[in-house]
Amino acid sequence: MKKFIELNGLKLFKEKEVYFPREDSLLLAETVKVKKNSNVLDLGCGTGIIGLLAVKQKAKVLCADVNTKALKLTKKNAEENNLKIKTTESNLFSNIKEKFDFIFFNPPYVIEEGNKKDLIETAINGGKKGREIIDLFIPQIKNHLTEKGNCFLLQSDLNGIKETTKKLEKQGLKHLIIKRKRIFFEELIVFKIWF
């Protein structure tokens, strides 16, 4: 049996406690068009798919996740693809001081009440309105984006589009929906966010 899956030109190995790319990852991946030597943050990196696509475009990439197994897998996936990547364990920006030219985040956004029982739940469960992590992330964007930087945030329409736009406006951030994809009962959306 093949040990890895090829996605977007990358060999990606799996690990049962790490989120493997789905439609949301692939939609966010479509937005990865970064400049050579730019500083990129892949927040909530999972397998590292987003960060590795940016490294292939010759950017300097930091992959961060709360799940240390995701960081280990991201390093393995980088090695298997002959790519270089930095990783850090971080709860959102708790362990990140720098500013970035590009920030990519596919957060846990699934509407689910109750405790996060395991690492896969931590990857997908966004709480009562699916906004738990999104709402903690938005106020921190400004501190970590360079003046001309861009942030790409994925969510579902079920999380509320107006809630996100209002919260971004409150932070004085410009925004545009640049990707939409209907899957089953929801529409996935990618916001581009800048100063």
Ligand X SMILES: C[S@@+](CC[C@H](N)C(=O)[O-])C[C@H]1O[C@@H](n2cnc3c(N)ncnc32)[C@H](O)[C@@H]1O
Q: Which residues form the interface with ligand X (CB under 6 A)? A: 19, 21, 25, 28, 43-47, 49-50, 64-67, 70, 90-92, 106-108, 122-124, 133
Q: Please, which residue, 148 or 159, has the CB nearer to ligand X?
A: 159
Q: Please, which residue, 38 or 155, has the CB nearer to ligand X?
A: 155
Are the C-beta atoms of residues 191 and 178 closer than 8 Å to each other? yes
Q: Please, which residue, 39 or 137, has the CB nearer to ligand X?
A: 137
How many alpha carbons fall within 13 Å on the CB side of residue 153? 28
Spatial separation of the C-alpha atoms in residues 44 and 71, rounded to whole Å? 9
Are the C-beta atoms of residues 129 and 177 closer than 8 Å to each other? no
We find the least distance from the C-beta atom of residue 119 to ligand X, in angstroms, to be: 6
Spatial separation of the C-alpha atoms in residues 47 and 60, rounded to whole Å? 17
Q: Please, which residue, 108 or 149, has the CB nearer to ligand X?
A: 108
Position closest to ligand X via CB = 44
Q: Please, which residue, 39 or 109, has the CB nearer to ligand X?
A: 109
Give the dihedral sign, CA 48/54/57/58. Answer: negative
We find the least distance from the C-beta atom of residue 72 to ligand X, in angstroms, to be: 12
We find the least distance from the C-beta atom of residue 183 to ligand X, in angstroms, to be: 14
We find the least distance from the C-beta atom of residue 179 to ligand X, in angstroms, to be: 13
Spatial separation of the C-alpha atoms in residues 45 and 51, rounded to whole Å? 7
